[in-house]
Amino acid sequence: MAGAREMPMEQTPRSAVTLAPTLDTWSWQLRARCRSMDTEFFFPRVGEPHGARVRRERAAKTICSMCPVQENCREHALATGEYGVWGGTSDTDRRRTRPAPVLRKH
């Protein structure tokens, strides 16, 4: 989701990685379909009822489905631990598809 708003501190995932944006790594966002849209479509609100969240995420994913940079967006979200809808996936979707960490036996 291009032009994302900041997540309140109490909701920030501990595993989130902060990347310094550069033209090389973020230029794809200039072509994002969501670029000029209200970010409210793409991020959960505190206390949002489940049904409202499902409807909002469905609408955001529809926008993403027609976006020319959907794959770049999804890869970015997976690499950085973004929250909200990015690349047609919600943070919940991405947690489900992210491979489990490999535990080594000593």
Domain ranges of the chain: 29-97
Q: What is the pLDDT of residue 97?
A: 79
Comparing CA positions, the residue from 98, 71, 73 lying closest to residue 13 is 98
Is position 64 annotated in a ligand binding site? yes
Q: pLDDT tens string for the chain (106 positions)?
A: 665 554 444 444 444 445 555 556 788 999 999 998 988 889 988 999 999 999 999 999 999 999 999 999 999 999 888 999 999 999 999 988 766 566 777 6
Is position 82 annotated in a ligand binding site? no
Ramachandran quadrant class, 84 (left: phi over 0; alpha: psi -120 to 50; beta: rest): left
What is the DSSP code string of 45-88?
Answer: PTT--HHHHHHHHHHHHHHHHT-TTHHHHHHHHHHHT--S-BTT
Question: SS3 breakdown of the chain: % helix, strand, coil, rounded to 5?
Answer: 45, 0, 50
Q: What is the pLDDT of residue 71?
A: 95
Q: What is the pLDDT of residue 76?
A: 92
